[in-house]
Chains A and B, each alone.
Chain A
Amino acid sequence: MKNLSESLSSKPLLSWLLFGSTAALVIALLALAQTIQTRKVESEFRGKPLGELANFEARNEAFRKFFPKQFESYYSTKDTSFRSEYGGNEPRDMLEENPRMVVLWAGYAFSKDYKQGRGHYYAIEDIHKTLRTGGPLSPDSGPQPNTCWTCKSPDVPRLMEKTGPSDFYKGKWASKGSEVQNTIGCVDCHDPKSMNLRLSRPALKEAFARQGKNILESTHQEMRSLVCAQCHVEYYFKKGPDSIANLTFPWDSGLTVEAMEKYYDNSGFKDWIHKISKAPMLKAQHPDYEVYKLGIHARRGVACADCHMPFVSEGGQKYTSHKIQSPLNHISTSCQVCHRESEKELIANVNERHKSVSEIKQYLEDELVKAHYEAGKAWELGSTEEEMKQILAYIRQAQWRWDFGAAGHGSAFHAPLETARLLGSGLNKAKDARLALRTLLDKKGFSGEVSLPDISTKAKAQEAIGLKMEVLKMEKQKFIETILPQWKAEARQKGVLDPQSP
């Protein structure tokens, strides 16, 4: 065997190789030393003190330099790549996945367009683009009032501070397009002087006051849910003088599905008249907070933020992750802090709750679709208001329960037993409605089955309930092309938007 020296003298390339690899090794070792030094120092680093910020500084970017980790994690709600079995942050088309909902909401805006909510980053973009807000081409046209902005932006408390809530709610949605431009952000939950949690909107405070409770006495742990409960709740627009739509939570008799129903019944409120059955309907919005309150995690004192905004450590620095999302995307940071089971096992536990609840939900949807069409048939056969009254009440009650269980995407996990109970009670009401309808139809001399239209896809279901989707989409497109750029330009000119904002 030749020795290395001889090989080297005959092969200059080998010398270079040896030289190069030694150099690379030394570089790697120095790099390791460097990271060890960095990691020692980084855990000592603390955030910069807060500068001067306005009481309702709505431009989120103003907070970036003071709270870089919180800010970056918050703006990473831009991510729409996570899809769990029953949810996630993709804009899943819920009507496409379940066209029965088109029929259930016939005559109401949700039958036009309903998608799985994306992250807070998209709050403004999504309310601009949903068909539910229509395509208003002037400030005083369009189907929705300004109240629809209430939960979408820190510009809302900024404007309310100036004019008061009533003046904010007044007028059509299109009239505040250039003022409400920043997406949900820092001052929606924080006081910029101290960064303590703060309630920025009146409806929750008013609901507490009407129940005789002082919301200012809430503990910090309660506040970690209450800031979310400013929006993630069941609400309605209570018509005030000048037909101002006041955002109101129907909590006066309690937070359960029956208590809120009693509240609505007492005030004779309805969200809309169903297009097929003519029933006076209620739409549950997203009673996430109320349903969560009835679950075991709330009973044990776990707050929304504990699971949806867990503490994380990066480089020895602890901060609250502001990437608010489904904890199924970070089982380790949320569930496993308390639960010792494997990630796979915990996800399976969540999904089996969803599976069981969604099974009952589907039975109820089937019954409701039939009940609406059978009621339609009963009207057709000349039934009187008096004959229909109780039937329509059953339909209203049954669908209110269905919507209450369906509208919050996490209900089957937040309170599986309560959600199953209320869907079960809804199923009972729907059966009552159909039993009464059968008797009535027989009385009117109709003994067969009421035929249902083809609602196997979203498009077919929308056609069946008589929606002119092409017109709606065209209106929206025109609005997106002409009005949205105007709003944005005006907002930039007025300084509503930060120059760095997307």
Chain B
Amino acid sequence: MKKLLNFVKFFIPPARWRLPVLLALGIFTGTVLYLIPTSKALSYLSDKPETCINCHIMTPQYTTWKHSSHSRVTNCNDCHVPHTSTIDKYSFKARDGLRHSALFTLRKEREVIVIEPEGRAVVQQNCIRCHENQFHKSTENFRDTQTKAERTCWSCHREVPHGKVRSLSIAPFALTEEKP
């Protein structure tokens, strides 16, 4: 406790520095507050699929999902983040999201985006989570995506749900008006 108090004390400026420090902190806080609505930061805490097209990279994925049967029962997070615990969910989402926003800001996105190995494992587990009763002995080893990652549900069900053709350019003008 005493250590913590010392730590806080360390940052307290002397009296004649208080005003400039307050001003500087004010500018900093204001900028951050301005960034929150600009970047729609709060939407990232939700499960709304429209969040995923805040930037335009995922528009084809959004559009293909929207027109698929999966849009009646799932949103993006149902498949693309783990549902093992809340902590797992948000930590995965945070890591994934930071990677995406960094790539997008630096214009490093590829023309055809490809799911990362961690993401593959998550999606596979989520297929199983809902389709448990469709599992058969012959597909039993599909459960283990860590060691048998070469076979996934979509190795055969290739078009589920995002279709066969993939590129940032396949549906560039889809639903700009639907963006939140």
Contact = CB atoms under 8 A, between A and B. Distances in A.
A418 B27 CA distance: 70
B32 A22 contact: no
Given A4-B10, A44-B176, A332 B112 contact: yes
Interface string B27-56: 110011011001100000000000000011
Contacts of B114: 336
A22 B26 CA distance: 11
Interface in A23-66: 25-26, 29-30, 32-33, 35-37, 39, 43-44
Nearest to B111: A333
Interface stretch (A154-162, A273-281, A307-315): A307-315
The 6 closest A-B pairs by CB, nearest first: A311-B169, A313-B168, A318-B172, A5-B14, A316-B56, A333-B111
Interface size class of B (residues with CB under 8 A): 35 or more
Contact of B38 (A22, A37, A317, A333): A37
25 contacts: A1-B6, A1-B10, A3-B9, A3-B10, A4-B10, A5-B12, A5-B17, A22-B24, A22-B28, A25-B28, A32-B39, A37-B38, A39-B56, A310-B111, A311-B167, A313-B111, A313-B167, A316-B56, A332-B110, A333-B111, A336-B111, A337-B166, A337-B167, A337-B170, A338-B166
A333 B34 contact: no
A489 interface: no
Interface of A: 1, 3-6, 8-9, 19, 22, 25-26, 29-30, 32-33, 35-37, 39, 43-44, 310-313, 315-318, 330, 332-333, 336-338, 340
Contacts of B17: 5, 8
Given A3-B10, A9-B14, A312-B111, A36 B167 contact: no
A22 B32 CA distance: 13
B134 to A, nearest CB: 23
Given A311-B169, A316-B56, A318-B169, A333 B27 contact: no
A9 B15 CA distance: 11
State the majority secondary structure of interface residues on B: loop
B1 interface: no
Contacts of A8: 13-14, 17
B164 interface: yes
Contacts of A25: 28
Nearest to B60: A313
Contacts of A22: 24, 28
Interface string B54-66: 0110000000000
A338 B28 CA distance: 47
B111 A332 contact: yes
B166 A336 contact: yes
A360 B6 CA distance: 80
Interface in B122-180: 158, 164-170, 172-173, 176
A8 B56 CA distance: 46
A330 B167 CA distance: 13
Contact of A313 (B28, B31, B172): B172
Contacts of B38: 33, 36-37
B64 to A, nearest CB: 14
A388 to B, nearest CB: 57
A9 B9 CA distance: 15
A337 B104 CA distance: 20
Contacts of A37: 38
A35 B107 CA distance: 11
B31 A43 contact: no
Contacts of B85: none
Nearest to B32: A29
A312 B6 CA distance: 56
A4 B17 CA distance: 11
Interface string B75-116: 000000000000000000000000000001101001110100
Contacts of B110: 332
A32 B36 CA distance: 11
A8 B107 CA distance: 40
Contacts of B173: 318
A338 B164 contact: yes
